[in-house]
Amino acid sequence: MTAASLLPFGKLAGKLFGRGTVGAVETTSRTAILDGSSIRFSQSNVKTTLPSLVDYMNARGWGELPPIDVVKMLDGTYVAIDNTRLAAAKLTRTPVRAIVRTFDDAWDVARDNLNQVFKNPKTGARPDTWGEALMNRIAGQKREWKTLHPEGSPFTGVHPQTGPVNP
C-alpha cells in the first residue's frame, strides 16, 4: 500500500457528519480514504441495495455516505465490516471512506445492540474486540466461503434477489 492510498480524513468527516461523530462512532485520525482494491470482504455476498449504491457512487462518488468500518488485521491487511458500500466502491472505482480499527480495539456494542450480526456463531457470545466481531462475521458465512477465505476475500457474491448492476 502506498501513502497515496491512505490519506487522513478526520476533519472533513467531522464537517460532513457533524462534530466529529458518525452515529455513535467517533471519527478520529483513524478515519481514512483507502483504495478499495486494498480491502477484503468479510461476507460471501452483499445486500440487494448494491445497484442503487452503484448508481449513487457513479453520480456523486462517496458523497454523503457514512464511512465503512474496516479492521486492520494483524498481518496489516484490511477487511471490511460493511461490504455493500465496499462492493459499490470497487465497481465504480470510488475511493473508500473508512474508519480503520485495529484487531484489538474494543468493540462498540452500539454497532450491534441486539448482538444478532456479530455474535459468535457457536456460543452466541458478544465480541470484545473489532477483530473478534470480524472473525465472528466470517465464521457465520457459508461453509465453502469461510473455508476458502478465513480472513476475508478480495471477492464477494451478489444476493440472488439483486437486480442488474451497471458499474
User: pLDDT for 112-164, tens place per residue?
Assistant: 877 778 889 899 899 999 999 999 999 999 899 899 999 999 888 776 666 55
pTM of the predicted model as reported, rounded to 2 decimal places? 0.77
**DSSP letter string over 95-121?**
PEEEEEEETTSBP-GGGGTTSSSSS-T
> What are the structural domain ranges in the chain?
3-152
Report the share of the chain in percent with pLDDT over 90: 57
CATH architecture of 3-152: Alpha-Beta Complex (3.90)
